[in-house]
């Protein structure tokens, strides 16, 4: 049976090449679905080509509800991200453990209140919401509501009267300390870009001017903002600063007092993003080189990712990176060793992929994720066109998807998680 399909495929491809001289390929994708009638399907409709969402999961940015229409756009549609809740829990835990281990020195003004400030990335982004919740719940400052832990920013909360958080307590060596979220805000610039490092650098300067040595800890929902705050204020004032993403500059800064960060295993995510495309275009089992070893020896173990069928999502697992282990994470752009073997170009011929990064200025995506993608695209014989957005307007990106027919597959990173239809509408035409 397999052989027969392979033969039909080969024949169909030869026919299609001969018929139109087109390099457009993907008979494999349609045949993989089980149809053997490839006679007229020399080109695959854009709506049937592999489509991978990554980094921003199609979902309602207010309620978090998944956009299942987008996630199941066609049979080769998946999301690749990481487990936001597991990572957020680790982030909160990392900060808490740091406080416990440094209790003798942490309270800078000795008032018995351990004060932290929090840089929120994008109040409508599920990762950002999860991280705010993870930090608040580990530090005891979380307020529960019907929809879960409140993730709204507090602005400035010098006296602990804000309603979005409460004062928490932490007990170390029999002594109870109060923990207070002194300030938090979304880091959005005037043009609308979120997770904005420049805004975070300005915010810490403003907060430090009014809160001074009440600030004992700086927490950020990503390293881009975290490093901006570290460079603007906390390094010089020796205030531990925590981020997320394990960007190379942040990991290196751990040697200089940056408190820690979380690796979301971008090396595994970037692999999955392109690997699912490769498998779909090859017409092989979607988990080839993922759950099962491929012909080059690539395979992932289940301690670094899992697949959730209901959300058609592959999630990488997170790891805390602190003073204890940071030396293993100094280069964030090395392919993950178990999946770094070159695929054979004859068995996996070149295909072309359209891929966008929602904001070319996003530190994590540009400094960590994209360099990884660029290494994996060579290993998988994929020719990827990288489109960098401005982080504000979906149209800045969709305008550059003018001719989807020229690509075999698509990988999409949206500006806003609600906007999947701006893309699927173009593919559905
Ligand atoms: C990353 C952030 C990044 C954001 C962009 C998150 O998963 O942790 O650093 O800015 O994605 O969408």
pLDDT in tens, 362-382: 999 999 999 999 999 999 999
Report the alpha-carbon angle 341-346-347, nearest 5: 70
pLDDT of residue 42: 60
Residue 34: is its pLDDT beyond 70? Answer: no
Distance CA 129, CA 125 (A): 6
Give the lowest-confidence range in 23-37, 122-136, 308-322.
23-37
The 8-class DSSP code of residue 115 comes to E
Which residue in this structure is represented by tokens 């804000």? 162
- Cα-based distances in Å from 277 to 290, 384, 388: 12, 11, 20
Q: Which atom of ligand 1 is nearest to the CA of 264?
A: 8
Which residue in this structure is represented by tokens 């709506």? 47
For domain 85-263, give the CATH superfamily: Response regulator (3.40.50.2300)
pLDDT of residue 16: 43
- Cα-based distances in Å from 112 to 168, 172, 177, 217, 276: 12, 12, 6, 14, 52
Average pLDDT estimate for 305-320:
98
Cβ contact 358:389 at 8 Å: yes
The pair phi, psi for residue 153, each rounded to 5°, is: -70, 155
pLDDT of residue 357: 98
- Which residues fall within 8 angstroms of residue 163, CB to CB, at 6 or more apart? 143
pTM: 0.86
Residues of the chain with CATH 3.40.50.2300: 85-263
User: What's the N-to-C CA distance of the chain in angstroms?
Assistant: 34
CB of 329 closer than 6 A to ligand 1? no
Nearest CA to ligand 1 atom 11: 55
- Which residues fall within 8 angstroms of residue 97, CB to CB, at 6 or more apart? none
Mutate to test the pocket of ligand 1, among 119, 124, 223, 245 (most ligand atoms within 8 A of CB): 245
Structure tokens at 384: 């990827």
pLDDT of residue 429: 80
- Say how many Å lie between the CA of residue 364 and the centre of ligand 1: 6
Q: Helix H segments across 327-411?
A: 363-364, 370-379, 394-398
Which residue in this structure is represented by tokens 């870009």? 193
Average pLDDT estimate for 398-405:
96
Average pLDDT estimate for 313-325:
98
Where does 187-304 show beta strands of DSSP type E?
Answer: 215-220, 241-242, 258-263
Q: Which atom of ligand 1 is nearest to the CA of 194?
A: 10
Give the lowest-confidence range in 35-49, 284-298, 369-383.
35-49
pLDDT of residue 64: 82
CB of 79 closer than 6 A to ligand 1? no
pLDDT of residue 20: 38
Name the average pLDDT for the chain: 91
Per-residue pLDDT tens digits for 133-186: 999 999 999 999 998 999 999 999 999 999 999 999 999 999 999 999 999 999
């Amino acid at each position: 049976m397999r052989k027969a399909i392979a033969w039909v495929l080969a024949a169909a491809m030869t026919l299609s090449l001969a018929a139109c001289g087109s390099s457009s390929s993907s008979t494999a994708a349609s045949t993989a679905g089980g149809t053997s009638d490839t006679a007229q399907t020399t080109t695959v409709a854009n709506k049937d080509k592999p489509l991978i969402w990554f980094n921003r999961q199609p979902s309602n940015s207010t309620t978090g509800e998944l956009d299942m229409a987008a996630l199941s756009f066609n049979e080769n549609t998946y999301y690749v991200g990481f487990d936001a809740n597991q990572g957020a829990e680790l982030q909160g835990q990392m900060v808490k453990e740091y406080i416990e281990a440094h209790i003798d020195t942490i309270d800078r003004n000795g008032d018995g209140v351990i004060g932290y400030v929090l840089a929120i990335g994008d109040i409508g982004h599920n990762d950002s919401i999860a991280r705010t919740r993870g930090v608040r719940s580990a530090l005891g400052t979380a307020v529960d509501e019907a929809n879960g832990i409140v993730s709204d920013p507090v602005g400035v909360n010098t006296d602990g009267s804000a309603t979005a958080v409460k004062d928490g307590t932490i007990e170390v060596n029999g002594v109870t300390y109060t923990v207070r979220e002194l300030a938090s805000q979304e880091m959005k610039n005037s043009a609308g870009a979120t997770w904005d490092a420049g805004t975070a650098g300005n915010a810490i300067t403003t907060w430090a001017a009014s809160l001074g040595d009440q600030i004992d800890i700086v927490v950020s929902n990503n390293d881009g903002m975290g490093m901006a705050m570290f460079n603007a204020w906390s390094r010089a004032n020796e205030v531990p600063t925590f981020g997320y993403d394990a960007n190379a500059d942040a990991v290196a800064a751990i040697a200089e007092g940056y408190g820690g960060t979380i690796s979301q295993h971008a090396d595994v995510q970037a692999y999955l993003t392109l690997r699912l495309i490769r498998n779909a275009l090859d017409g092989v089992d979607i988990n080839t080189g993922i759950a099962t070893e491929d012909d080059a020896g690539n395979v992932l173990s289940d301690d670094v990712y899992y697949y959730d069928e209901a959300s058609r999502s592959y999630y990488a697992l997170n790891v805390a990176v602190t003073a204890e282990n940071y030396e293993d994470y100094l280069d964030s752009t090395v392919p993950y060793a178990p999946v770094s073997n070159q695929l054979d170009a004859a068995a996996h011929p070149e295909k072309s992929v359209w891929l966008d990064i929602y904001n070319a200025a996003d530190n994590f995506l540009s400094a960590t994720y994209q360099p990884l993608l660029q290494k994996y695209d060579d290993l998988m014989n994929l020719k990827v066109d990288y489109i960098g957005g401005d982080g504000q307007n979906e149209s800045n990106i969709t305008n550059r998807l003018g001719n989807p027919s020229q690509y075999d597959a698509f990988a999409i990173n949206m500006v806003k998680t609600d906007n999947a239809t701006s893309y699927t509408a173009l593919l559905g035409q």
